[in-house]
Structure 1
Amino acid sequence: MVQTRHAEGQALIESCIVIGLICLLLMGIFQLAQLFMAQEILDYAAGRGARAKAVGFNDFMVSKTVRIGAIANAGALMVPEHSGGGPWIQWTRQESPRIPHYMQSDEWELDFILNYALWDTIVWSSPASGADILHFEVNQAVPLMFFSNVFKAFFSASAVPMQGVADIENHYPLYLQ
């Protein structure tokens, strides 16, 4: 007579482990995609800032241009007040008309027209001024969506420092002679 063994739940445990590993893999892929997107946005903001600097804008206008170029990395919309949630089209409808006003405003008006939670983490620099080629850098510590505690354990931070770079011909001295 053949003896049968009763299943002890081993297949259930193995399935849970595999599902957990697949979820970790998908979250890791999503996190990498977010970091690649953040890098592209920083490069775009650096390009906009370099162009603004190359045509002779002052540092205040360059800062506003870089901030507008990096809106997608700027986090939650704080001004105008937003209840959170809802489709992205609602956010776009609120912020798009304010961008021209933001670009035309003075320093004391900026935070009352348009503001984001992470705009203060975006820093730009243009080390070589007056050269034929203008080098422009935009730096930001991009916060992680997943694995921030794991990243913090190894690197003592929950954000990844990233840099966008643009090099452009510096031609504003030709116009200002």
Structure 2
Amino acid sequence: MKLIILDRDGVINQDSDAYIKSLEEWIPIPGSIDAIARLSKAGWTVAVATNQSGVGRGYYSEATLQSMHERLCALVAGQGGKVDLIRYCPHSPEVGCDCRKPAPGLFHQIAQGLHADLAGVPTVGDSLRDLQAGIAVGCSPFLVRTGKGQSTQHKALPEGTLIFDNLAAVADHLLEA
């Protein structure tokens, strides 16, 4: 199985320090939906691992979050692709759960849900915690400059991190390999 694990906010859709709280605020980054569809059509299994502490903080409901994920899946399906699995952490940082990135819990959930070994699996994020969660389970880190990626690229990144302008550039790289 060719598997890729994507962060959501800042990788697939625009991010906001004020949180993405409604379907209207969920706006895809140009090229990201097409990138997911291209990977899917080329035989990649696409999973999403996303921190969504706005649910735990009471900024939006799980139903609203579900509507955002339904929109994502519908847009990708509209281009002939598929998002195979979405796992999210609804907890605020104070909860101390094992699923909030940089903890690897969401990655363990994806591995279980897809019966997959995560060694070497590309994981794409725009923040250091996205990459750290993937590294903890043996994934290969890919940083995009969208979202918080512009500032993240200047931090001490995990060894071997590949940096790309956006998810479309990651897809181009993986599909050329």
TM range (shorter): under 0.3
Q: TM-score, normalised by structure 1?
A: 0.25
TM-score (norm 2): 0.25
> Which structure's residues are more often helix, by fraction?
1
Which one has a bigger Cα radius of gyration? 1
